[in-house]
Amino acid sequence: MKFTTISNSDPEKFVSCRVGLEFANYFEDLGEVLNENGIYGLSKRGIDYQDPNFENYSKGNFIVVPITPPRSNYYDSNNDDESSYHLLPDLVLAKHRWENEIVISISQAFVCSGDNQKAIERFDRLFSHSLYLPAQVIVIDMPATKETQKVLANIINERLKTNHSQRLFLFRVGLTPFTNRLLNQSSSRQQSKHVTGGGGASSRHNDKSDSDTIMITNEESSTESGYGQCSSQSSSTDQDPLLGGWEGWNHFRSHLVPDHRIGICLLIDNDMENEDIEDTNRWKGEPIRMVVMSADRFTFTKGFKNTMRPAGGIKEFIKMIAVSNSMMTSFVVQSRNDCDAREQLDCLSGFCDYLQFEFPDFMRAWDDALLDPLQPLSNNLDSNTYNIFEQDKAKYSKYHEAMLEALGCLLARPESRYRTRFTLMILGAGRGPLVDAMISAIHKLKVRGKIFKIYALDKNHSSIVSLKYKKLMDWDIFAPTIETEIIASDMREWMPVDKADIIATELLGSFSDNELSPECIDGTWRFSTSQTISIPQSYSSYLAPICSFRMRQELQRASLIACNQNSFDKIQVVRLRNYYLISDPKRLFTFEHKRLDMVPLEGGNRREAILTFSTHVDSTCHGFAGFFSAQLFGKVHISTNPSTKTPTMESWFPVYVPIEEPFFMPAGSSIDVKFSRKETDDRVWYEWQILKPKPSRIHCKDGVAASMSKII
């Protein structure tokens, strides 16, 4: 097997689009398994490991191994001493091999009811030993019942408080709910026996059971696979039914601290040919760091190469999962120790290569990271920020289109036939990309006999230096047809002699008005007429409830870093990837700039609205995603709303509007949220509150936690 070394022991990189094997049974000597003479018993099949093509036989990057032997060997019921535990010793491998090549699986975990202290201590012993080992990723079976979920969650929460390593703790969750899975379990088990011919792992241990234990594995596999099965004790009580699938995970994570180290190891336990699309899409909002498929979840593609591929709808599903998790998902083939899974490994390796080729993303480092919104009115941007924004070709292409239409409309007016001079203003010019777009639009129209005066205004004295340099090097050559003048001023205080024919700004924020575009453009009434054209003409904010455990985790981390500051009262800019839209976005606030000459009314930019959202499937609301759309001019629009998003435009990320208490939304239910935009003479802020189903507190009340300053 070919192994990839992960530098700096980074667990996030460990699971980033890698391939692994999961073995069903415990190994006495991992060193022998991972030695240079081969792995997975391939040497027994006569493979020449000196063959230069050996790397193509299987391209797995790591292996997943149980921390204990099979269930019957794990615990000697006649001996309570710790020496009766059979656990992996750390000295069987060098530290770097543990960190780069091994995932520990507590797949034979035992958790019992709250009054069975012995069973709890057994699991805690396993978990403590897994923390002792240098492995960077630990996989733990999610409990099968509500009672055992709470017990395990309490243990995990306590351990995370005192363990400050950055390793990942992944909980194995089956894709299919137990209620559906158990109906077919018996027939599936019979098919498995027919295919494998029995034997294998099942011959390694008997079916001895502990009367005081409950197996918490979520897997469909029978005891032949080495993973055990849910005991009748855990499935017979009506008071505590079996949980599985998304519903089981949703209940389990409600008891977990939203630590950023927690994730999901998702077991694909069906071919996904008849899955409901919304049930499937819910997984986009979960931190899935590993996807596990048994060897029989693959099929051969008919044709020339007869290549192997994931069966049914699995391929499209795991592609969706990888993209929504920013490629921080690994793929694992689950197989018995004596089976050959090289073709399945090659299939997944090719799939990872495809993902990395098909979805390159130089901005992936920003995915799901909480960022404070810019306040360009009160704070000056630096050159790096300007440079990032100027890379967005899609945005400036749209502005160029809008300027073409606006200039065409201006020149088509009857009075323009007799005019020779026109005044164009770029307000908040930055380093001049909109000036470039305006000059390009004028040239494309091939206007003759007219003079265009372009004012490029900015309050940032450092960017004024850049504008003057650009005027000297690039823009002066177009004189006298196109004249440019650089102005260092606040647009709200500037008093030019000329009246504007066109005013273009790029003051929009991720939530439409959150960078105070309305307040800035209101100040242009002094040098506007009833015919002045504004680019943009109007813009609206949009809001939608989302399910995103990743956002909850990031907020938890931000709260710890910020100490006393309340992260739930701050709207954050986020390049959202790991989220599920519970309901389609709805329009929130709209601002129009059709008559710039109108004197703005005091408090005219205050807004308040109540929006109602409904859900088609069970979900949990972790807050809201905010988007915007804008009419630049005529038919030219830009948008971050998922349904109308401008392709390849990356200047604006969505915003995340947090709530302090996530709440469950049953299928068919609805929520009401009240959102307000408030202002005083010197600042603007948002307030939001859940009204239904259960009223929440008012978030960001009076703008104490976060506000936007009107003062430079």
Residues belonging to the active site: 506, 515
By CB neighbour count within 10 A (0-12 exposed, 13-18 middle, 19+ buried), where does 58 fall? buried
Closest CA to 30 of 59, 5, 58, 64: 64
Nearest Cα neighbor of 334 from 496, 192, 186, 546 is 192
Say which residues have a Cβ less than 8 Å from residue 360's Cβ, sequence separation at least 6: none
Alpha helices in 197-268 (DSSP H): 232-235, 245-253
**Nearest to residue 410, comparing CAs of 510, 296, 533?**
533
Tokens coding 203: 């011959």
Taking residue 383's Cβ as centre, other Cβ atoms within 10 Å add up to: 11
Cis, bond preceding 536 (omega within 30 deg of 0): yes
Q: How far is CA 603 from CA 33, 518, 606, 689, in A?
A: 72, 11, 6, 22
Distances from the Cα of 309 to the Cα of 93, 296, 323, angstroms: 34, 11, 19
Q: How far apart are CA 505 and CA 9, in angstroms?
A: 46
The C-alpha atoms of residue 636 and residue 657 are separated, in whole angstroms, by: 28
Q: Following CA atoms 209, 210, 214, 216 in sequence, which dihedral angle do they give, to the nearest 10 degrees?
A: -50
H/E element, 455: strand 451-458
- Locate tokens 């797995």: which residue? 60
The secondary element (H helix, E strand) that includes residue 423 is: strand 421-427
Distance CA(652)–CA(640), nearest Å, equals 7
From 169, 175, 171, select the one nearest 318 (Cα to Cα): 175
Q: Which tokens go with 335?
A: 């197989």
Beta pairing, strands 607-614 & 670-679: antiparallel
Q: Do 311 and 271 contact (CB within 8 A), yes or no?
A: yes
The Cα 574–Cα 552 span in angstroms is 13
Q: Which residues make Cβ contacts (< 8 Å) with residue 642, sequence separation at least 6?
A: 581, 585, 627
Q: Does residue 528 sit in helix, strand or coil?
A: coil
Name the residue type at position 629: S
| 222-232 burial code (b ≥16 CB/10 A, e <16) | bbbbbbbbbbe
